Each structure stands twice: as structure tokens, then as C-alpha cells.
Chain A
């Protein structure tokens, strides 16, 4: 089983953005998706560094894709998305609008924000040229098994969300701007202050969600530590790891060790929690309960 690194969901300083990809060049992962997934206003800040990051990763033997935006509405966003094709790199479609810009019969990847819930949709995408699909984080193992089996026959590789705060929703409204009593157009890049998203708690101070501009994420970090064997057995080709602002190289190493059978699920979970930030883990979508559920030790002692 391979490891893929998904597009960074957050708005980081350009130096920090570039540093991530320098580090990933030597990380034990096979594939990297980069580019802007969440907000078109962020891209100009690091766009000029993308070429270098891609070269560094390709030179290091990594497969590289560039993501489309997750929600394309404005004229500017449509133009920006159409221009992605000119980069000459594999495109990861995260809004179906991107399909209308791809040259016919060209291969592409599909990201976790596209609703691939069943065999027919998977088959339709494969017919258009999809060669790799990262399934939506919402899918239970039962669906993953069926889709992986269909994908195998179609020559499509399947990825499953393996680690990181999950993309639960995307909107036209910017919640960081709203929280700061600004409009999206005059957001003043409030999301920049929260390089892993801003925690949203319930009225009883229970951590629940995280906001990231127009995106809503889970508070908990999805972690398939306990399902690695089942996912391998199901024929999943890669686990997707989502970048976080610190300790991400360690996460990549831990998952590599887990796949190689060097550590068990409980050990991975414990070490992932022990990277200097207080985080909560979940695997309830894969296990088929509810997204925030965790099949490990409920007290977090694993």
C-alpha cells in the first residue's frame, strides 16, 4: 500500500508552504497533491513557488498532481481552473467543473471532494479518463470494499482518507470572515492565523468542528490506524495523509511503519497524539458508526 499526501487545506505563509514540499521530497511517501483546494484568494501568495516545489518532488521520484479548487463559482475561478491544464501535471479534480476544462481523453485523478459513492459514478469517471480516485471520507468500509473491487477491473487506483482533519463541507460563505465581522470580499485573510483551522466547540466546550475560511472540517483527526489490514485486504491502493503545520513528517513515517507491520494501530495512534499538539482522533466513518467515533481507547490512552 502506498501513501499519498493530499493538498494542504490551510493558508500558510509562503515560506512554510515551500518548506512542507522540501520535507516531503525525502519523506517515505509515493505521491503528493499540491495547489489550492479551498479559497481562490490564497493562491497568488504562493503560486510563484509551485513550479519549484513540483520540480523538487519530481526529482525526488514522487508522483505529483495539482488540485483544482473545491468549489468553483466566480469567473476568475473558472479561468484560474482552466489554466491549471497548462501546467502539464496530472490534475486532481475536486469540483466536477474541472472536467469541462480537461482535454478529451486525457488521464486525471479525482479528489475526496467529489461525490463518488457508487459503482456507476466510478465507472462514469473511469470512462472519462480517471485513473485514481480518493474516495469521500464519509464512506464506510462496506462501500470502500465494493468500489475498490470495481475500480480494480477498470484500472483505477483507490485512495482512502487516512489521516487528518476531514473536509466536511464547503460554502460560498467565509466563516473566518464572518467570525471577524467581515465579508468574504474584505476578509483580510483572517484564516492565516489558524494554520490547522480554528476549533469550533459546543456550548459545553466539547471540541466538535474546525473552520478554515469557506471550509468546515472535523475537529478530530481521522486516523485509520486500526483499519490498515482491512483496507489492504479490501485492495485499497493508497492512504491519503492531510498536511498539518507541525509533525507531519513524523505522521508520514508512522504510517509507513504501520503499513510495513513495524508498529500496531494503538502505537500509531498514541504516537500521532504525542506530537506536541492536543488532538483527538476518529475513524467512525470507515467503521460505519458516525464520523466522530473512535474505535481505539476512548480515553485516548492508546
Chain B
């Protein structure tokens, strides 16, 4: 079976671009703090969602709605209405992380398919099976801290479908279990759907060097004219002990293209591309390349190599935790 390509869409235009470029499935979110890419100008109104799903379904493409932040105490109704509206819009599944919200969705919308978000960081077969038993999840998006060997083990021990990230931004920490961003800025992926938000980024120049700050903390410095990476906290430059460097992770992004055959053998059903904040042309290009790769694999042809290198953030890519030495 051809591996399913799951593509990001931050806007209705990106959704249409992804569908036309050959996506099997598109994922997106409502324009509020219920999803983990709550950026200004991104995401879908209820009307746009309904239209987008209709367009995708007309082309035989599925749409998943990410409602994957953790509901704020006292304001759960916002998250509940997102689940209710996802069902009403005709979503093929919702992607959830919060146990309380999973319980709500199962009770009130039992027919709506539930996927476990990467933000739940379910990192072994026991917890995946526990989520399946508790909330009837049909698919899990695996955290980006697992090796291919561990993914093989998980697939051998669960009936739940597995989806893995293959391209785009790379979380170094177990997803949904990181509050570095709110420590520095007050805004976090879990509570606000943002990490290292642009509203807290400042650039300043002194002595021919360009400093990038997040929440006032200087975490990047480059010479004039050099490309300045976005100051994401876990990819910042710091000092620890007597060393200065990328303590957590280099400013790289994930590209596991070369591992697709291994991932298929490991039993993974779907390949996920990160980047709802990306442009529609980027989305279209990445989707076309990954679709070509899985089609070639399915036809027993050699995989096209290195198609995506130039699209990677800062031009540097890693296969991340899929190779055990990353740890």
C-alpha cells in the first residue's frame, strides 16, 4: 500500500495547493488557540474549514483538524466547540493531545475519528494501547525522539496506526512536555499554541554583529550579511561549562526522506510534513516530492534522492532521532 502523505495547510490557499500537488491527507486548524500553530494570519475560520473540506473531499483527499493544545482551565468551552465544529464541518478526524479533550470528544462525538497528536508524546506501545483503550484512538503521531528500531517495536505491539514526521521543523524535546517558550516569553505550545513567538523576537546590531533575542535573551549572533536563523529557543547558541555552541540542537530541520523505505518496513502508515506556517508554494513543492517518493517506492522503483535539500530551514538537515546516535 502506498504510504499516506499528510500535508500541512495554514491557509485555504495552501490546502488547495496541497490537494493539487498530490497530498493524500491535509491537516489544519481553527484560527484560535486550540491548535499548536496559532500564528497571526494563519488557520481557518469555520466557513473556510467547511469549504476547504468540501474541496478536498471532491478531490478524494482527507482533512484532519488539529485541536492539539491543552484546554485552559475555565475556558474549556472553546476547545469543546472546536471539536463539535470539526464534526459539523465534515472533518475525517481530529488530532487531539489533551486527555480531558479526548474524553469529551469520545463522549459527545463518538463517530468522529480520533488521532493522538504528537503533542501527547506517546513514546511507547504501552501508553499508545492505553490511549486506545481509554479513548478509542485510531492513529498516533509519534514523537520525534524515537529511533527507527523503536518504531518497529511499537508497531509490533499495537493495532493503532502510526504516523511519523519526515520533513520540516524538529522538536528536540518530547513534544507537549516543554515550557521553555513560556519560561522566556509567557507563551507556550501547550497553553497558547505558539513556541518562541515572533512577537517576542528582537534583532539588534552592534560591532558589526547581528544579535537575535527572544524575550530579551540573546540566543543567536551572526556577522553582518550572514543569514540569521529564527531564534527558536532549543536551537539557540548558549554557553554551558566552558563551551559555547548549540547546547540542545543545531539550527537544522528534519529531513527523513532517505529513511522512507525503512519507515515503511517498520509498519508506519503515514508520513507527516511539518509547516502549517509555510507558504503554499513551499507546501506544494514538498508534497510533490514526497508523493513522488512514496509512489516510486510502491512501484518498486528507486527513490528520487535529495530533492528536498534546498527547502530545508537554514539549508542544514538532520534525520533526527530516527538514527540512534542523535541522542
Contact = CB atoms under 8 A, between A and B. Distances in A.
Interface of A: 71-75, 77-78, 95-97, 99-101, 113, 115, 117-125, 136-139, 142-143, 146-147, 166, 168-175, 177-179, 183-185, 198-206, 208-209, 211, 216, 218, 284-285, 288-292
| Main SS class of interface, B | mixed
B321 A173 contact: yes
B247 A185 contact: no
A146 B238 contact: no
28 contacts: A71-B123, A73-B145, A96-B99, A99-B127, A115-B190, A118-B76, A118-B98, A120-B98, A120-B103, A120-B104, A121-B70, A121-B99, A122-B100, A147-B73, A166-B179, A168-B178, A169-B173, A171-B172, A172-B123, A173-B321, A175-B247, A202-B219, A202-B236, A203-B221, A203-B244, A285-B179, A290-B182, A291-B179
A124 B240 contact: no
Contacts of A124: 99-100, 103
Contacts of B247: 175, 178-179, 200, 211
A78 B126 contact: yes
A172 B327 contact: yes
B183 A100 contact: no
B186 A289 contact: yes
| Main SS class of interface, A | mixed
A143 B72 contact: yes
Given A170-B177, A172-B146, A173-B321, A203 B219 contact: yes
Contact of B98 (A115, A208, A288, A289): A115
Contacts of A202: 217-219, 236, 238-239
B305 to A, nearest CB: 27
Contacts of B177: 71, 113, 115, 169-170
B123 to A, nearest CB: 5
Interface string B76-119: 10000000000000000000011111011000000000000000
B324 interface: yes
Contact of B173 (A139, A205, A216): A216
Contacts of A285: 179, 182-183
Contacts, number: 214
A122 to B, nearest CB: 7
Contacts of A172: 123, 143, 145-146, 174, 321, 326-327
B124 A97 contact: yes
Contacts of B71: 117-118, 120-121
Given A95-B127, A175-B240, 15 more contacts: A71-B121, A77-B124, A115-B99, A115-B176, A118-B98, A124-B99, A124-B103, A137-B179, A166-B179, A169-B180, A172-B123, A200-B239, A203-B238, A208-B217, A285-B179
Contacts of B179: 136-138, 166, 168-169, 285, 291
A73 B221 contact: no
B99 A169 contact: no
Interface string B161-196: 000000000001110111110111110101100000
Q: Which of B99, B241, B248, B249 has the most CB of A within 10 A?
A: B99
B153 A75 contact: yes
B136 interface: no
A173 B122 CA distance: 16
Interface in B234-260: 234, 236-241, 243-244, 247-249
A170 B130 contact: no
A138 B239 contact: no
A68 B76 CA distance: 29
B144 to A, nearest CB: 8
Contact of A203 (B127, B234, B239): B239
A290 B219 contact: no
A118 B173 contact: no
Contact of B100 (A118, A146, A185): A118
A147 to B, nearest CB: 5
A120 B74 contact: no
A228 B176 CA distance: 29
Contact of A290 (B173, B185, B220): B185
Contacts of B124: 72-73, 77-78, 97
A97 B121 CA distance: 10
B238 A208 contact: yes
B177 to A, nearest CB: 6
B32 interface: no
A174 to B, nearest CB: 6
B129 interface: yes
A146 B325 CA distance: 44
Contacts of B174: 71, 169-172
B123 A209 contact: no
Contact of B126 (A97, A122, A218): A97
Nearest to B79: A118
B73 A72 contact: no
A147 B190 CA distance: 17
B219 A143 contact: no
A208 B183 CA distance: 9
B175 to A, nearest CB: 10
A179 B257 CA distance: 28
A211 B188 CA distance: 20
Contacts of B217: 202, 206, 208
Contacts of B186: 284, 288-291
B321 A206 contact: no
